[in-house]
Structure 1
Amino acid sequence: MTATPETAAAAREPHSRRDPQAGPPPGVLAVVFAALFLTGLVLSTLLAGGDAFPSPFGATDTVTSYFRDNTDAVRLSGALQFAAAVPLAIYAATVSARLHKLGVRAPGATIALAGGVLASAFLACSGLVTWVLSRPEVAGHGDVVRALQYLAFGLGGPGHVVLLGLLVAGIAVPGLLAGLLPRALAWAGLAVAAVAELSTLVLLADGAAPLLPVARFAGLLWLIAAGFLLPRRRVRTEG
């Protein structure tokens, strides 16, 4: 019996529903990334008796006393920050592969991969430097503490956030142009990416520091939404 187009499509349907090469759900990866990062912030604050992580632009005495007196909180913060970098790297690889599968041939998919992997690397390095700051033999030296804190801030602050913006932009642009994401979400992603890139100004002016939390937390929420809404395959309409 000759197979009709309908029966051929039906035969292929189970394979289209279940793609073993689709990778882990990016939305879930984004949730894990955000959960690890935020848990580090919350638990380190609780362990420090409610004292938030000190700003690198604060007074030297305040900074050095915090790292000297709260080594457990600093160690936990660095460990969870390092751990959060892993699902972020997997997210970037998964989303990039999915964009390629959806037919995106523009640089967006590669930009998303490069931005996400570099953002993950900077976050991991920041976590490791923070872990070094938790060592008692380091925390007792004020000049060393200030230098390492500036390094951790540069890596996990503007370094991480600017590159996270590239990940967001790399998804948002093809998501908008190819209709892969809701237009409102795609435009919101472009706005988040713009703020993230502007946070480079923190390296020139301390007053630009508020850009970092805005871009960071808006980026976390956007990556979660995009991870759940990015389709697995392109829907073709018959005309």
Structure 2
Amino acid sequence: MTTMTRQQGGPRLLAPALAFGVLTVASAVLGAAGTRPDSSAAEVAAYVSGNQGVVRLLAFAVFGASVPLAVWAATAYRRQRRLGVAAPGAVIGLTGGVLSAAALAMSGLITWTAAQASDAPAVARALTSLAFASGGPGFVVPLALLIAGIAVPALFLKLLPRWMSVAGLVVAAAAVLASLSLLTPALYPLIPVGRFGGLVWLVAASVLLPRDRAARTD
């Protein structure tokens, strides 16, 4: 009976959160010296041609990060249901987690494809722009849904410290505003705010979110 109860409660959240964090940081390091959305086709082709190994590693890290994120979202949803969250927030969070993981997977696969197109500058540039769009605003906006879908129910049911829930909503708001970066490059800085702020929040929530109502925050 004890084993069955533990299984029904789901695995611990920290392991997939840390795996997601390691791969996210790795992708940031690998992509730090890469091209930007406003780089010319010639610059993109030259970088891809001269850094095939780095680009492939970047693609692997970005794609790989999507897997533990999807696992985290599913596990968090199961945890919320166990904690008695019946509001739509739990489903919204799961939906956001699935969409953000899918966006990351797409970004990684497109980056890998771009690495094969160094002899076609226009194609390479189009692919890297698409990889940026899916891995940037396309990722952080649904990530905001994942965070808000956990933070809002946790705020009302006191499943997390109040400051933690409020911090999640602030990060989620910044991530949603990152969608405006599609209109102006001036708002590109909101993308890493949503990405890394969201990462820190997910890791903290993995530690603080209780496994059952008896351990909730009062």
TM-score range, shorter chain: over 0.9
Deviation at residue 206 of structure 1 after TM alignment: 1.4
List per-residue Cα deviations over 1:54-95 (Å, max 9, x = no partner): 111234333221111101100000011111100000100000
CA contact (8 A) 1:111 1:166 kept: yes
In the aligned structure 1, how far is the partner of 2:196 from the partner of 2:34?
17
> Is 1:32 aligned with 2:19?
yes
Aligned twin of 2:139: 160
Deviation at residue 24 of structure 1 after TM alignment: 2.1
Deviation at residue 159 of structure 1 after TM alignment: 0.4
**Residue correspondence of structure 1 range 40-119 to structure 2 within 5 A:** 40-42=27-29, 44=30, 52-119=33-100
CA contact (8 A) 1:28 1:224 kept: no
Normalising by structure 1, we get a TM-score of 0.86
**Residue correspondence of structure 1 range 181-220 to structure 2 within 5 A:** 181-220=160-199
Off by >4 Å, runs of 4+ in structure 1: none
Aligned sequence identity (%): 47
The one of 19, 28, 39 aligned to 2:6:
19
CA contact (8 A) 2:9 2:82 kept: no
**Residue correspondence of structure 1 range 213-232 to structure 2 within 5 A:** 213-232=192-211
Over alpha carbons, which structure has the higher Rg?
1
Report SS of the residue matched to 1:231. Answer: coil
> Is 1:176 aligned with 2:141?
no
Unaligned runs of 5+ in 2: none
Report SS of the residue matched to 2:45. Answer: helix
Aligned-partner residue type, residue 19 of structure 2: V
Aligned-partner residue type, residue 94 of structure 2: L
Aligned twin of 2:112: 131
Deviation at residue 16 of structure 1 after TM alignment: 8.7
In the aligned structure 2, how far is the partner of 1:97 from the partner of 1:184?
23
Deviation at residue 104 of structure 1 after TM alignment: 0.6
Aligned twin of 1:5: none
CA contact (8 A) 2:41 2:124 kept: no
Deviation at residue 150 of structure 1 after TM alignment: 1.0
CA contact (8 A) 2:95 2:146 kept: yes
Deviation at residue 236 of structure 1 after TM alignment: 7.9
CA gap of 1:193–1:28, structure 2 versus 1, over 3 A, is same
List per-residue Cα deviations over 1:137-192 (Å, max 9, x = no partner): x1121100111011101110000010111100001001111000011111000000
Normalising by structure 2, we get a TM-score of 0.94
In the aligned structure 1, how far is the partner of 2:191 from the partner of 2:215?
40
Deviation at residue 17 of structure 1 after TM alignment: 10
Aligned-partner residue type, residue 217 of structure 1: F
Report SS of the residue matched to 1:53. Answer: coil
In the aligned structure 1, how far is the partner of 2:83 from the partner of 2:5?
16
Aligned-partner residue type, residue 79 of structure 1: F
In the aligned structure 2, how far is the partner of 1:22 from the partner of 1:81?
29
